[in-house]
Amino acid sequence: MITIPAWSRAGRDRRSPDWSVDPITLDVLIDYCPRESQVDRPGAGTPRRAVRTLLCRSENPLRLDRIAALGAAVLLTAGLALTACSSSSSDDTGVVRTNLGEPQNPLLPANQNDNNGSRIVDRLFAGLKYYDANGKAYNEVAQSIETNDRIHYKITLKPDWKFTDGTPVTAKSFVDAWNYAALGTNAQIQGYVFSSIVGYDDVSVKDPKVQTMSGLQVVDDHTFTVALKSPSIDFEAELAYAPFYPLPAVAFKDLKAFGENPIGNGPYKFARNGAWQHNVQVDLVPNPDYKGSRPAKNKGLRMVMYQSLDTAYADLQAGNLDTLDTIPDSALATYKKDLGDRAITKPTAQNSHVGVQPTMAHFGGQEGVLRRKAISMAVDRKLIADKIFHDLRVPARDFTARTLPGFNSDLPGADVLNYNPDEAKKVWAQADAISPWSGQFQIAYNSDGGHQAWVDAVCNSIKNTLGIDAAGAPYPTFKDMRSAITNKTIGKGFRYGWQGDYPTMLEFLTSNYYSTAGYNNTNYDNPEFDHLIDQALAAPTQAESDKLVGQAQTLLLRDLPSIPLFDYIAAGGRSDKVKKAELNWAGQFDFENIEK
């Protein structure tokens, strides 16, 4: 099959019975108009009949030099003439078409670094626990999770769970998966989440002498025990998080191949081998053997990869996309009128930051702290939230999200998040006294995520306040930008955000700022912060834990490893083909409960 450029797909997958050609080739012939022929290229969401009409009348719709890479054999075997334009029929089978971006990494549960990969993994796997749309936790594969001291846990599994290859889900399935993720030589991005388990320090090093954590012990097929180093107030909450999912024995035979075609135990499974067509789409179908409480109420998911949210929104309006979890900035003023009761708005546990790695010139040491503080106070968050986001963002007051339990909007030091032009100029001058500024301050963003308008607004606010040159730096895809951040080669400021994996403030803080965290974008390494987080996890009550979290955040406000900008009020929508679709507590769709 041919790999189609993602920009050409636009989420369409209609069928026409009088065209005897596979649907991907059909989409190539219909969609592959030369980009320079903008007059003749149909707009996003244009009906297929109109697309064919445009192709038929175009003077040169399929120039040989543009389609050579696709192969002349495609045209010959298709047996199609461009004059064979005809009407098409809609194939509305109950499969939900939803938006996605290309995942950064293969689909291993402990190696997800973005919400594109994680939203697929969360459909394919079932953990010990799961969260409903409102963030309430329930047991899923776990029959019981028992502890008397929050250090020693006995976990019993429900019987009769199977992976989609027919093999049973056992205690060993969990223990082997956790040990694999924690082993340092496996370099799993989320391996750090097992740091609370006894034996993690022995396996996570560069040259481990042992391969498994001593704190994990299999008792029998349905029982295993966990020993933690110290009490953890978040451990049970973590058990719904992707790194804690089980893996079948077949995964360890060829993990590279498994990452391309994962075998899970969740409410969905891959529609076929190769269902992940890179940069195009992922096709999932319901798993008939799923035993849990979140079975699919639809006939499957087609997750279509867009490089423009504007294109995705046009497809939503045209009925070629069923759900869209992010309305583009260009439509925020009109989406409620456009969609009526199909518009979705919900405060969610998401935030938006600007990150700067300390290896970037002028951003290391005390000079870097001063410059980050000056930039923070140079950004008029309220104005941008109003003019760009139409009040669908709220100025940040901390490093978590205001929808989370224990959120405190009045932390000591939070004034650094206020718009204060005079103080910003003063602090910038203090940084110049250490080393005079030169060059341009850039903020990288992914073009496929609809971020240009607000990044440009932030840069203009910085430019107008500090009198320096500032500009956005677009990357084509989220994957491209994330790879540069992860590899520490980005060399400029960058936009990033966090979407909760489980609803606690500690999850946001440990994931982004704990020194050993895989998602520590800004290389923050502060033993005092780590110690406060450890204390917060070990606190005997939630109130005491929240107090320690506040102290840890005060350190972040002092050091400002990243610049918090906004908390989210998510804006999404559904097509008129969808009866029910809700955003969950974290801002993703409650996919299993989408009904057509």
Output the pLDDT for position 449: 86
The closest of 267, 105, 334 to 591, measured between CA atoms, is: 267
The closest of 514, 504, 500, 498 to 545, measured between CA atoms, is: 504
Beta carbons of 33 and 7 less than 8 angstroms apart: no
Output the pLDDT for position 92: 55
d(CA 401, CA 524): 20
CB count in 10 Å sphere of residue 71: 13
What residues contact residue 350 under an 8 Å CB cut-off, 6+ apart?
401, 497, 498, 499, 500, 567, 568, 570, 586, 587
Amino acid (1-letter code) at residue 543: A
User: Apex CA 305: angle with CA 517 and CA 510, to 5°?
Assistant: 15
Output the pLDDT for position 518: 80
d(CA 422, CA 470): 18
CB count in 10 Å sphere of residue 146: 10
d(CA 397, CA 227): 36
Output the pLDDT for position 5: 34
Beta carbons of 239 and 127 less than 8 angstroms apart: yes
Output the pLDDT for position 304: 98
Output the pLDDT for position 161: 98
Going residue by residue through the chain (596 aa), what tens digit of pLDDT does each one get? Answer: 333 333 333 333 333 333 333 333 333 333 333 333 333 333 333 333 333 333 333 333 333 333 333 333 333 333 333 323 322 333 558 999 999 999 999 999 999 988 999 999 999 999 999 999 999 999 999 999 999 999 999 999 999 999 999 999 999 999 999 999 999 999 999 999 999 999 999 999 999 999 999 999 999 999 999 999 999 999 999 999 999 999 999 999 999 999 999 999 999 999 999 999 999 999 999 999 999 999 999 999 999 999 899 999 999 999 999 999 999 999 999 999 999 999 999 999 999 999 999 999 999 999 999 999 999 999 999 999 999 999 999 999 999 999 999 999 999 999 999 999 999 999 999 999 999 999 999 999 999 888 999 999 999 999 999 999 999 999 999 999 999 999 999 999 999 999 999 999 999 999 999 998 888 999 999 999 999 999 999 999 999 999 999 999 999 999 999 999 999 999 999 999 999 999 999 999 999 999 99
Adjacency order of strands within the sheet including 223-227: 142-146, 152-157, 223-227, 216-220
d(CA 266, CA 245): 10
CB-count burial class (<10 Å; 0-12, 13-18, 19+) for 503: buried
Direct distance between the N- and C-terminal alpha carbons of the chain, in angstroms, rounded to an integer: 29
Domains of the chain: 96-322+575-593 (3.40.190.10), 346-570 (3.10.105.10)
Output the pLDDT for position 542: 96
Beta carbons of 202 and 194 less than 8 angstroms apart: no
Name the residue with tokens 């607000």.
454
CB count in 10 Å sphere of residue 272: 9
